[in-house]
C-alpha cells in the first residue's frame, strides 16, 4: 500500500520550509491559477481560484 503511494506522489516534507510545489500542483486541469498566495516561509498557503473568490465575495 505505501509502496504504491511512494510511486504516485512525492515524499511528504519533514519541514514546511522543504515544501516545493510544482506547476501541476498550483493550477487546475483547465489551467487556472489555484495557488492564490504563499508566504516566503511557507507558513501560509491559500488555494483558491479567482472565480471561487468572486463567488465567496457575493
| pLDDT per position as a tens digit, 14-56 | 887 888 888 888 999 999 999 999 888 878 889 999 999 999 9
Distance, C-alpha 58 to centroid of its chain: 25
> Cβ distance 33 to 47 under 8 Å?
no
Distance CA 54, CA 25 (A): 22
Instruction: Report the pLDDT value the prediction gives residue 1, as an integer from 0 to 100.
Output: 58
**Better pLDDT: 9 or 39:** 39
Distance, C-alpha 20 to centroid of its chain: 9
Instruction: Report the pLDDT value the prediction gives residue 19, as an integer from 0 to 100.
Output: 83
Instruction: Report the pLDDT value the prediction gives residue 13, as an integer from 0 to 100.
Output: 85
Q: Which three cell numbers stand for residue 13?
A: 516534507
Instruction: Report the pLDDT value the prediction gives residue 22, as an integer from 0 to 100.
Output: 86
Residue that the C-alpha cell 495557488 belongs to:
35
Amino acid at each position: 500500500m505505501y509502496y504504491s503511494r511512494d510511486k504516485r506522489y512525492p515524499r511528504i516534507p519533514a519541514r514546511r520550509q522543504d515544501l516545493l510545489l510544482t506547476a501541476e500542483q498550483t493550477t487546475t486541469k483547465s489551467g487556472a491559477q489555484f495557488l492564490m498566495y504563499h508566504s516566503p516561509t511557507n507558513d501560509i498557503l491559500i488555494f483558491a481560484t479567482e472565480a471561487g473568490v468572486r463567488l465567496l465575495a457575493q
